[in-house]
């Protein structure tokens, strides 16, 4: 599958009210956007109930009021992180047992008001469940036609490979996409970006694995670091305080000036045009931010500019 950019709907229905969420969705589709990413647990931390589902419910209402739009979009959702007890995450996360996956997709389809999703993710690892059980449960969904393709998010890469080997050995559908955090700036070695799962950040090992497995796609969440490239009110967290950040920001500003664009434009262009290419998942709260993101993935960097960005480690 080929991707360009994905609209992240994580906060739709909670932080972003229905009117603004609908406006963003309409503009995204109107601009030719295709993929929308959500999860059954979004956004349990932002809702008084302590449980998720609000994002999928909002998307369901939007789809119901836009006849025909389902044929123009692709839906990506996830299972594994919904808490089973309010206020107790991650220790009570639903996990990836066969029953959790079955219940998860049934709930997601009901909230979305659709009969299938195009890409279904294991949201994070569940080492309390045998990997073979998880692989088989996901395969059943593909065989039933309720899921188009499978992905894994926040997984150790050796677990991705083991799951794929289990699927291949048993004639099952395996993972063909990885979703992790990736941006141009990198945290100090030995640390990881704030609010990221243990294996949530893309490492050189992950990039090497993907380069050797071109059938695997990479989706990058939080590509713009929550606005920290451009907003003075959102300073970079401590793990980015090192010389590599200073060097990368300097080159980023040079390329932005040369292309008449912004830091955000260049970061998204660098991700989308890289090797392996990454599909940025952008979480936006205004139409202006959405337009900037769309312009970013449309920007084509010259080989020399990309080489300078890559060298500024």
Q: Provide mean pLDDT across the span 113-137.
A: 98
Distances (CA, A) of 247 to 16, 143, 164, 183, 241: 35, 49, 38, 15, 11
Structure tokens at 150: 């499978």
Q: Provide mean pLDDT across the span 190-205.
A: 87
Answer whether residue 295 is part of any domain.
no
Answer whether residue 154 is part of any domain.
yes
pLDDT band with cut points at 50, 70 and 90 for residue 3: low
Position 103 pLDDT exceeds 90: yes
pLDDT band with cut points at 50, 70 and 90 for residue 189: confident
Distances (CA, A) of 267 to 1, 76, 140, 305, 306: 22, 23, 38, 12, 11
The whole domain housing 116 covers 6-175
| Percent residues over pLDDT 70 in the chain | 98
| Confidence at residue 192, expressed as pLDDT on a 0 to 100 scale | 80
219's enclosing H/E stretch is strand 217-221
Answer whether residue 304 is part of any domain.
no
Look up the pTM and report it.
0.95
pLDDT band with cut points at 50, 70 and 90 for residue 190: confident
Answer whether residue 202 is part of any domain.
no
Answer whether residue 85 is part of any domain.
yes
Q: Measured between alpha carbons, how far is 57 from 41 in angstroms, rounded to an integer?
A: 11
Taking only the tens place, the pLDDT of each residue in 260-273 is 999 999 999 999 99
Taking only the tens place, the pLDDT of each residue in 226-270 is 999 999 899 999 999 999 999 999 999 999 999 999 999 999 999
pLDDT band with cut points at 50, 70 and 90 for residue 1: very low
Domain containing residue 88: CATH number:
3.20.20.100
pLDDT band with cut points at 50, 70 and 90 for residue 193: confident
| Confidence at residue 67, expressed as pLDDT on a 0 to 100 scale | 95
What domain count does the chain have? 1
- Please, is 62 exposed, middle or buried when counting C-beta atoms within 10 Å of its C-beta (0-12, 13-18, 19+)? buried
Q: Say which residue, 104 or 4, is predicted with more confidence.
A: 104
Position 211 pLDDT exceeds 70: yes
Answer whether residue 247 is part of any domain.
no
Q: Provide mean pLDDT across the span 139-145.
A: 98
Which has the closest alpha carbon to 75: 23, 120, 123, 20?
Answer: 120
Answer whether residue 96 is part of any domain.
yes
Q: What is the mean pLDDT of the chain?
A: 96
Taking only the tens place, the pLDDT of each residue in 69-91 is 999 999 999 999 999 999 999 99
| Confidence at residue 209, expressed as pLDDT on a 0 to 100 scale | 97
Taking only the tens place, the pLDDT of each residue in 48-71 is 999 999 999 999 999 999 999 999
Answer whether residue 274 is part of any domain.
no
């Amino acid at each position: 599958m080929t991707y360009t950019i994905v609209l992240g709907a994580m906060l739709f229905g909670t932080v972003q009210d229905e009117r603004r969420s609908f406006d963003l969705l309409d503009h995204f589709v109107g601009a030719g956007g295709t993929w929308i990413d959500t999860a059954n647990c979004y956004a349990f931390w932002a809702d008084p109930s302590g449980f998720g589902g609000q994002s999928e419910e909002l998307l369901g209402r939007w789809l119901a009021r836009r006849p025909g739009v389902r044929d123009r979009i692709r839906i990506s959702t996830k299972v594994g992180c919904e808490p089973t007890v309010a206020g107790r995450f991650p220790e009570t996360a639903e996990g990836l047992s066969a029953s959790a996956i079955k219940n998860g997709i049934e709930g997601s389809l009901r909230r979305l008001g659709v009969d299938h999703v195009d890409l279904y993710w294991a949201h994070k690892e569940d080492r309390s469940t045998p990997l073979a059980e998880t692989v088989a449960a996901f395969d059943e969904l593909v065989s039933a036609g309720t899921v188009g393709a499978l992905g894994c998010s926040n997984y150790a890469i050796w677990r991705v490979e083991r799951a794929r080997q289990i699927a291949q050995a048993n004639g099952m559908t395996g993972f063909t996409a990885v979703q992790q955090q990736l941006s141009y700036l990198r945290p100090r070695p030995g640390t990881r970006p704030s609010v990221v799962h243990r294996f949530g950040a893309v490492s050189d090992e992950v990039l090497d694995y993907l380069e050797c497995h071109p059938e695997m796609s990479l989706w990058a969440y939080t590509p713009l670091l929550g606005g920290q490239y451009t907003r003075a009110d959102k300073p970079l967290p401590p793990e980015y305080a090192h010389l590599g950040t200073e060097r990368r920001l300097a080159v980023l500003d040079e390329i932005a000036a040369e292309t008449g664009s912004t830091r955000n434009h260049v970061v998204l262009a660098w991700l989308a045009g890289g090797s392996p290419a990454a599909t940025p998942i952008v979480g936006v709260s205004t139409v202006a931010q959405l337009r900037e993101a769309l312009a970013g993935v449309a920007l084509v960097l010259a080989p020399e500019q990309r080489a300078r960005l890559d060298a500024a480690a």
